[in-house]
Structure 1
Amino acid sequence: MRALLAAILLIGLAGPVQVWARADEPVPGGPTITLPAIAYQVLHQGDPTGSHPTRDSAVKVRYKGTLADGTVFVDTAARGDGTEIFPLGGRIPGFVAVLQAMRRGDRWRVTVPVAFAYPVGPKAVAGKDLIFDIELIDFAELPPPMQSPLMRALPGKE
């Protein structure tokens, strides 16, 4: 894990890739996953030959969520080592779709429209488009007893 983190830090010195794409464009080299109406910008490309997490993965990420006016509503930098580990299947649909298209070391800026975020829910973010800066640090498949039965039942399961 330390070697992986060191490699990500060294690769990060290369600078941003600066590519914008939309949902109707395929993710270059990515799995068959649609990103409905989600705009994303590749800030840093990780391992271009690496694999992708699935809905049944636990992911380790750094992320910051803001509203269009710049209001920060979540930032993992304020937590412990600045990362968060969680099962992917339990997050908002836009977050799940984006992370399944990323590879280890990727850092993306994404705009998740309200339909794939929180149409209703927490007052600060309900009914609003959300902007996330996300870095996928690592992931691993969860064993079957820990996988979400709801997520396994959804179409498009890899």
Structure 2
Amino acid sequence: MSTRLGITPLTAADFAPYGDVMEAAGAPDKLINQGKCGRFHDRARLDFSDGRAGVSIFEGEVETLPLTLAMMERHPQGSQAFVPMTDDPFLVVVAADGGGVPVNPRAFRTAPGQAINFHRGTWHGVLTPLAAPGLFAVIDRIGDGANLEEHWFDQPYIIDDQPDRQ
């Protein structure tokens, strides 16, 4: 039997335990380039145990709802930021850590102009674009050593398009 998991809009406050929401919200922190560019300064905490930051391009397969969530992963050696290269929304699934396994998963839908950064060690679902082409710039740790842990649920969750009831 599966457990239903609804979706809520992504907000910085709701996402704070898991990572950072990167968006150009409010007034810029400062103007640069002779006043022609607003800088929204330091919107994500990049955190790596070693190695270096790298930028890669991911092309994710488009998913449709309802969606089965059978597995979550985390990266113990580095944060991971996803910056969509289109204005299309994507699904972000995160969970708290409960003794080394993901517990209480939550699903968020981004709004146009939002990107996310998972804090180091945060349980999350895989890249889930909801529209083609599913292109993302990804900023994460490049380095030696294993940086991936996976957890497969005994009972999967079904993510649907209804609001989360948490």
TM-score by length of 1: 0.29
The structure with more strand, counted as a fraction of residues:
2
Point out the structure with max Rg over C-alpha: 2
Compare relative contact order (CA 8 Å, sep 6+) and give the higher one, 1 or 2.
2
- Which structure has more helix as a fraction of its residues? 1
When normalised by structure 2's length, the TM-score is: 0.28
